[in-house]
Structure 1
Amino acid sequence: MHRQQTAVSKIRRFLAGRTHRRRILGGLLCAGLALALSPATRASASDLPVLRAAVLKIGTVNWELDTINRNGFDTENGFELSVVPYADNGATRVALEGGEADLAVADWIWVARQRAAGKDYVFVPYSRAVGGLVVPGDSTATTLKDLRGQKIGIAGGPVDKSWLILQAYAQKEYGFDLAAETEQVFGAPPLIFKAGLGGDTAGAINFWHFLAKMKAAGMRELISVETAATALGLDPDIPLLGYVLKESYLRENPQMASALYGASRAAKDLLARDDAAWEVLRPRMNAKSDAAFEALRRDFRAGIPAPGNVDEDGAATFFSLMVSLGGEKLVGGARELPPGLFAELE
């Protein structure tokens, strides 16, 4: 009987101790939850401004934005980046204009046109990657004038900047009217890609990442837009592509242009030096071969601009050429570089 009472007492003490331990653990959990939800902790986790980026779902800018998010370069620079994918570039620009996004991607010629029309868009430089003209690997062409009477596939339409620059170059260098003496086939980048590889055109002008894959597949570059621009007295180091924000947004978030630029530069610096940083990007690069992957990485790196503000004098010279070549179809009512186009970066 005594042993039974002793056993019962031990069980009661054990259960009481377990209940006490549960109360302690519960108190610690509640305290931890309270700390997690305290104003000080919330400030460090969620009080950073959120920058909503509207981007083309398959756009190459996602390689940089993914690198920013993956490595925390946004929070290191005082904001949180939220990437929202869209099916086409037009939709990204509608999202920016309508306030559904704070940022889109475009070339500064387009931004200048919008700004001249009264929109308060501001440009933050992103990339100087530009296209060129490629020909089949067995083509005998050595200059643009060798394409006389043949078909050229062109992505981007009749006022594509690369096409306009190459026309001006052909006229200056050879007295050759590239538009009048060739047949142009305009189409979407994938169509021009297939036509070029299939031999349906004697040459092709495409966006830089399609050209990288075309070269990896055996085509060769006849001339780059960079070479043509230099011959025309233009500065090839001026970044053509960039992030577009509104002045009204920057008034409310005055640090954001420099913060975004800082995160962008950190991502570029990593991608420029570290091959391993590209491995996580490979699934979204649509590279069908190692050669295509390496060509995309190489040409992306080649398109990284030097750090610093855009050279406005050089940009004004470039814009004047676009006005003379593309006219209203390209630049709208703008005739000179609108003031305030380029963000001042710290």
Structure 2
Amino acid sequence: MDFGKIGRAMGVALAGAFFALTAQAEVPVLRIAALEGGTVNWELDTIKHYGLDTAAGFDLEVMPVAGNPAAQVALQGGAVDAIVTDWFWVARMRAEGQDYRFLPYSKAVGGLMVKPGAGISSIADLKGKKIGIAGGPLDKSWLILRAYAQKEAGFDLSAQTEQVFGAPPLIMQAALSGEVDAAINFWHFMAKMEAGGMVTLLPVADAARALGLDPETPLLGYVLPGKLVAEQPDLVAALAQASRAAKEKLATDDAAFDRLRPQMKAKDDAQYQALVAGYRAGIPAPGPVDEAAAARMLALMAELGGPDLVGPATTLPPGTFLTN
């Protein structure tokens, strides 16, 4: 028996295993905190299922969180590498001296919904009515609709209506039951409300357009620390690549959405089709964000929401958008 030959063979095998393990260990991991059950999971699940992260050269790990504040704490504490939130938060952080960057994810926004036959055919008909609003008094959709009502109908929605603030599912139920006369909700809850017989009185995108804003400006995005962007630009580019690949698949491949249907929690085909259409309509175009349009939107948010919403960010801080 040639022990020398056996030893050499074992050495080659061990070396191969070592290099394979080393190569595997060198694949960078990107940890993203995402709201448990939120729509961003549709994209993240698509990335993992089809190996779009591996194809781009990284390993995606998703950490479920209970809400946006928990995600922000996880990012600021270094527990994750990225979260999904709006770019107003990024602008605020940058204005306060904290370095975060924004990679566009979605331009989808909600709207104002009513029941047919409720006697509400324009925003002026809301005077004296009760409005349910998903979120709080600083919700961006609510602020835009307030500005629109002032411009188009000459009245303050805040002063001349009764508001009920709450979580999106609660606002949906209050609207469907008639507890409130109208409701402002996020796009994916609007899809369910529409399937329940409600109609959209005014999309936030239309109100924004009437105010001289650009509804094509992406509102939500992946937010990453500036240090990560500077030190691992290839990893950030890989995330952008995987995200775009997932969007393109979900935009064109009905089977990719069918696979997600159980986690979408659609009660029927109408809800499901509305959710698919809403997601696809919210896919932002690739390329740079129009910073002039974003600056106009930030100025309006600063005027209506003040420091409680945007902190010291009254103008758009340079470097907010990674695509620029």
Report the TM-score range of the alignment, normalised by the length of the smaller protein: over 0.9
| Mapped pair 1:119 → 2:119 | no
- The correspondence for 1:58, drawn from 26, 37, 58, is 37
Secondary structure class of the residue paired with 2:46:
helix
Which residue in the other structure is 1:99 paired with? 78
Which residue in the other structure is 2:244 paired with? 265
Residue deviations 1:202-233, cap 9 Å, x none? Answer: 10001111111111111100000000011111
Percent pairwise identity: 57
User: Cα offset for 1:139?
Assistant: 2.2
User: Cα offset for 1:107?
Assistant: 0.3
Residue deviations 1:92-131, cap 9 Å, x none? Answer: 1111111110001110011111221121111000000001
Q: Is the 8 A contact 2:85 2:223 kept in 1?
A: yes
Q: How many pairs does the alignment contain? A: 319
> Counterpart of 1:339 in structure 2: which amino acid?
P
Root-mean-square deviation (Å): 1.9
Which residue in the other structure is 2:261 paired with? 282
Secondary structure class of the residue paired with 1:213:
helix
| Mapped pair 1:316 → 2:283 | no
> Counterpart of 1:37 in structure 2: which amino acid?
A
Q: Is the 8 A contact 1:153 1:192 kept in 2?
A: yes
Which residue in the other structure is 1:216 paired with? 195
> Counterpart of 2:256 in structure 1: which amino acid?
A
> Counterpart of 1:262 in structure 2: which amino acid?
Q
User: Cα offset for 1:38?
Assistant: 3.0
Q: Distance in 2 between matches of 1:326 and 1:155?
A: 16
Q: Is the 8 A contact 1:193 1:206 kept in 2?
A: yes
Q: Distance in 2 between matches of 1:100 and 1:341?
A: 22
Q: Is the 8 A contact 1:257 1:343 kept in 2?
A: no
Q: Is the 8 A contact 2:287 2:323 kept in 1?
A: no
Q: Distance in 2 between matches of 1:316 and 1:176?
A: 25
Which residue in the other structure is 1:230 paired with? 209
- The correspondence for 1:109, drawn from 72, 82, 88, is 88
Over alpha carbons, which structure has the higher Rg? 1
Q: In 2 relative to 1, CA 35–323 (structure 1 residues): closer, same or farther, beyond 3 Å?
A: same
Secondary structure class of the residue paired with 2:200:
strand
- The correspondence for 2:158, drawn from 179, 194, 200, is 179
Which ranges in structure 1 are unaligned for 5 or more consecutive residues?
Answer: 1-19, 21-25
Q: Distance in 1 between matches of 2:26 and 2:212?
A: 48
Which ranges in structure 2 are unaligned for 5 or more consecutive residues?
Answer: none
**Pairwise mapping of residues 29-44 of structure 1 onto structure 2 (< 5 A)?**
34=14, 37-39=17-19, 41-44=20-23
| Mapped pair 1:254 → 2:241 | no
Q: Distance in 1 between matches of 2:279 and 2:216?
A: 14
Q: Distance in 2 between matches of 1:88 and 1:33?
A: 48
> Counterpart of 1:338 in structure 2: which amino acid?
P
User: Cα offset for 1:46?
Assistant: 3.6
